[in-house]
Amino acid sequence: MPRRRWFASAAGLTFAGAFAITAFCAARSIDSHPVAVQVDPTPVNRGALEPASYAAVAKRIAPSVVKITVTSHRHEDEADGGMDPRQLQQMDPFFRQFFGQGQGQGRMPQQRHPEETGLGSGVIISSDGYVVTNNHVVDGAENVTVALDDGRELKAKVIGRDPQTDLAVVKIDAKDLPAITFASSAKAEVGDRVLAVGNPFGIGETVTSGIISVKDQRNANLGLAYEDFIQTDAAINPGNSGGALVDVDGRLIGINTAILTRSGGFQGVGLAIPSDLVRHVVDGLVQHGKVVRGYLGISIQNLTPALAENFNLPLRAGVLVTDVQPGTPAAKAGIRSGDIITEVAGNTVSNSGALSLTVSETQPGTKIDLKVLRDGKTERFTATTESMPSRRVAGGSDEDSNVASSSDDQGVLNGVAVGDLDADARQQFDIPGRVKGAVVTQVAPDSASAKAGLEAGDVILEINHHAVTSADEAVKLSANGASKKTLLKLWSHGGMIYTVIDETPSGAS
């Protein structure tokens, strides 16, 4: 058991989680040529008058949207599918069955359930039978059937799946199909009229209309590695997953994937995966059976006002590098932990999701220019992306013990107990050998640190930019805090993050 050192007690602020720039390689190699999708890059007509009817558009795109029926047998050990519970809550209720909600019900492993049927939608993207849909529609499916607008029902083969973006491609044996035309989602704008086409509730194909409410929506928290959605108020309901979101010219600008709802039905917030991202993922799945994404080897997080203040940043522009993996493209380029990346390839970086997506869409071996703010000065670096190795996420365990806050206000980080990072602590919390610092063993529930998210198993690497190598040093640094706002660099849940613990007394300025 590590030696325990106590700080003293109080109140705080929630910190943002770290984001790792990752790469994903899906299943087998299927084909060697890309899908020849039709693309019309011209912006949508934004004339002053809205047409009285979209009947002509609906008739033109209806044959390109299909109903997908899947059947599967679920084993109990697959009940949760490894999916984030938040994604289950936001997912179409019809598809939750494939991931299960039976945690804690005590059933035997490998118990086979009766055949289950699910319904979704898909979009024909090539005349020779390629259909794009959501990964959660076909994940775990043993049989997939595609129902065409002309009444035919054809067996489909899953070509590839990408859980990172919730996209999948299936293929049917048919020719001369009515493939949809793609538009560039980058040219769509908030306020543009859109139509959502799909098979909600399995009642047959429906068309609903609305506008684009938000572009680049990255705050949906669906548990996906890459979240970059078009948000719309066009009615999207269970069964619409995998269907088409089109502009008023009938061109595809997104694949409907999720609804944010409290009732399980339409409440005005629907999410679609942008067509530009769809094309990137589909090309990888069809050509290689996998999606190969660019990789830099850094962990990043969004800047908050508190972080910007502690890093002496005038603006909250860019993203904060929290960790650089040794030997990776970022390390070779000279990127360091604590750098603020403000531009990538000449484009301003607005948040961590945008940076992750930009890097992921580059091919391995691509040189990208990075503009970095370091110690108040702007520097430029060039990194050559690589394919990411297998992803590893370390887990931690909580220590169950009585934790009492000290009534004395001594320095900062009150109510936090730390220990030396010895072999026992590394084994207990699964902490890699390269991580150096002081391990958090307990956090008082009513403390500012607890409210900020600090927990047992976290490792304190720095306090106010000073490196921590032992529990005694962590306690010493905490006692010397001139301010009640403390900047911590932590190793937490397999990644590096920065957070600010604010112990300013209530009402103080």
- Residue pair 102/93 in contact (Cβ under 8 Å)? The answer is no
- Separation CA 304–CA 158 (nearest Å): 42
Residue 403 included in any domain: yes
pLDDT, tens digit (0-9, with 9 covering 90-100), for 135-152:
999 988 889 999 998 899
Residue 47 included in any domain: no
Q: How many residues does the chain have?
A: 509
Compute CA distances 122 → 68, 119, 179, 193, 196, whole Å. Answer: 6, 10, 11, 21, 12
- Same domain, residue pair 89 and 144: yes
- For 262, the token pair is 């409290």
Q: Which residues contact 288 (CB under 8 A, 6 or more apart)?
A: 29, 30
- Separation CA 168–CA 157 (nearest Å): 11
Q: What is the CATH number of the domain that holds 248?
A: 2.40.10.120
Residue 239 has pLDDT above 90, yes or no: no
Phi-psi region of 17 (alpha: psi -120 to 50; beta: other; left: phi over 0): beta
- For 344, the token pair is 């990538």
- Separation CA 331–CA 337 (nearest Å): 10
**Sign of the CA dihedral with 432 first, then 27, 360, and 259 last:** negative
- Same domain, residue pair 169 and 61: yes
Active centre residues (catalytic): 136, 166, 241
pLDDT, tens digit (0-9, with 9 covering 90-100), for 359-395:
888 888 999 999 998 888 889 999 999 886 543 222 2
Of the pLDDT bands very low, low, confident and very high (cuts 50, 70, 90), residue 96 is: very low
Q: Please give the backbone phi and psi of residue 80, each rounded to the nearest 5 degrees, phi first.
A: -105, -10
Strand partners, 383: 368
- Residue pair 179/123 in contact (Cβ under 8 Å)? The answer is no
Give CA 100 to chain center in angstroms. 21
Whether the full predicted model's pTM is greater than 0.95, yes or no, is no
Domain boundary among 367, 387, 407: 387
- Same domain, residue pair 345 and 329: yes
pLDDT, tens digit (0-9, with 9 covering 90-100), for 11-53:
332 233 333 333 333 334 445 577 888 888 888 877 766 777 8
DSSP state of 413: S
Count of CB atoms within 10 A of residue 431's CB?
21
- Separation CA 14–CA 106 (nearest Å): 34
- Separation CA 128–CA 501 (nearest Å): 57
- Separation CA 190–CA 230 (nearest Å): 9
Beta strands in 282-337 (DSSP E): 294-295, 298-302, 319-324
Beta strands in 349-494 (DSSP E): 367-374, 377-384, 386-387, 416-420, 438-443, 459-463, 466-467, 485-492
> Percent of the chain, pLDDT > 70?
76
Residue 347 included in any domain: yes
Residue 128 has pLDDT above 90, yes or no: yes
Nearest C-alpha neighbor of 181 from the set 235, 126, 137, 131? 126
Domain boundary among 290, 319, 340: 290
pLDDT of 332: 93
- Same domain, residue pair 121 and 157: yes
Provide the number of structural domains found in the chain: 3
Q: Residue 56 class from Cβ within 10 Å (0-12 exposed, 13-18 middle, 19+ buried)?
A: exposed
- For 398, the token pair is 């909580």
pLDDT, tens digit (0-9, with 9 covering 90-100), for 309-322:
777 776 667 889 98
- Residue pair 340/321 in contact (Cβ under 8 Å)? The answer is yes
Residue 232 included in any domain: yes
How many helices (H) and strands (E) would you count in the chain?
11, 30
Q: Identify the residue whose tokens are 């610092």.
A: 437
DSSP string, 63-121: GGEEEEEEEE--BGGGTTTT--HHHHHHS-HHHHTTT---TTS-PPTTPBPPPEEEEEE
- For 136, the token pair is 């959660």
- For 349, the token pair is 């970086």
Residue 355 included in any domain: yes
- Separation CA 385–CA 359 (nearest Å): 8
Domain ranges, residue 334: 294-387
Average pLDDT value over all residues in the chain: 77
Strand partners, 490: 460, 497
- For 355, the token pair is 């940076």
- Same domain, residue pair 328 and 477: no
Parallel/antiparallel/unpaired status of strands 181-183 and 38-40? parallel
Residue 2 has pLDDT above 70, yes or no: no
The three-class DSSP label of residue 146 is strand
- Same domain, residue pair 379 and 398: no
Residue 46 included in any domain: no
The three-class DSSP label of residue 167 is strand
CB burial of 378-387 (b: ≥16 within 10 Å; e: otherwise) equals eeebebebbe
- Same domain, residue pair 160 and 268: yes
- Same domain, residue pair 230 and 261: yes
pLDDT, tens digit (0-9, with 9 covering 90-100), for 156-191:
999 999 988 999 999 999 999 999 999 999 898 999
- Same domain, residue pair 426 and 403: yes
- Separation CA 459–CA 447 (nearest Å): 17
